[in-house]
Amino acid sequence: MDFTARYVALGDSFTEGLGDPDPHRPNQVRGWADRVAQQLAGTHRDGPEAFGYANLAVRGKLMRQILAGQIDAAAALNPTLVTIYAGINDILRPAVDIDAMVDGYSEGIGKLVATGARVLVFTAFDASASKVFAGIRGRTAVYNELVREVVETRGAELVDFWRFREYNDWRLWGVDRMHMSTPGHTNMANRVLEVLGETARIPLPDLPPMPVKTMVGMWRENAQWTREYVGPWVGRRLRGVSSGDKLSARWPELHQPG
């Protein structure tokens, strides 16, 4: 059976597509997974089965929410290919039991592998170049090492985001500095296609020139970023709410990507 016949993408905002706006798509975003699905559909549409794509990812979801709300739903779609990214929202919390979190992740990945699907699992990004998120580098490294072990044990495959050094170029990130930009999502789609063994690549959009910033300009930019993104993010944490609480999965059923 063609492994690309039924592709299901799972996770949080990374997989939902935040940072890659598209007003004509559900939740008004596109993202790398939509791009991978469209590329695979164009390449494999002549196979024995019609290509189908579902995306169950919802922004802001914690590991336990992804495991509870997406794993069984994905398995019910009888996938032949699954991608999953989960855990970074937990790592960003003040306290997290990474070992317990990844133990649950391992069980979920085991369920996905048991469907017979090819399962791709991501490590988390190395944010050492970020003055804001560099503090979680140690947590992320521990999480990634445990994820690598799960991938080996469960018979999944790794998309090693931690080692994608091109993402140290902040033009691959959106204005919120937390989600990839359109070029970043396009590049990630190509990275996933590479792991899948696909030869075709999606053309990358041109990157804007690297801006020259003065100290005053950087201060103003950081102040605006704090006001528009950090403040609301902290406020949601204090209220115990998430940006995805009122949102549903973008593509809950298999459909033909376009």
Which of 7-11, 48-52, 136-140, 190-194 bottoms out in mean pLDDT, i.e. has the lowest? 48-52
State pTM to two decimals: 0.88
SS (H, E, C) the chain: CCCCCEEEEEECHHHHCCCCECCCCHHHECCHHHHHHHHHHHHHCCCCCCCEEEECCCCCCCHHHHHHHHHHHHHHCCCCEEEEECCHHHHCCCCCCHHHHHHHHHHHHHHHHHCCCEEEEECCCCCCCCCCCHHHHHHHHHHHHHHHHHHHHHCCEEECHHHCHHHHCHHHECCCCCCECHHHHHHHHHHHHHHHCCCCCCCCCCCCCCCCCCHHHHHHHHHHHHHHHHHHHHHHHHHCCCCCCCCCCCEEEEECCC
Question: For 41-45, 89-93, 122-126, which range has the lowest pLDDT when averaged over its residues?
Answer: 41-45
Indicate if the pLDDT at residue 220 is higher than 90: no
- Region 80-108: mean pLDDT is 96
- pLDDT value for 1: 41
Segment 92-100 mean pLDDT:
93
The domains located in the chain, with CATH, are 6-208+249-255 (3.40.50.1110)
Identify which has the larger pLDDT, 149 or 246.
149
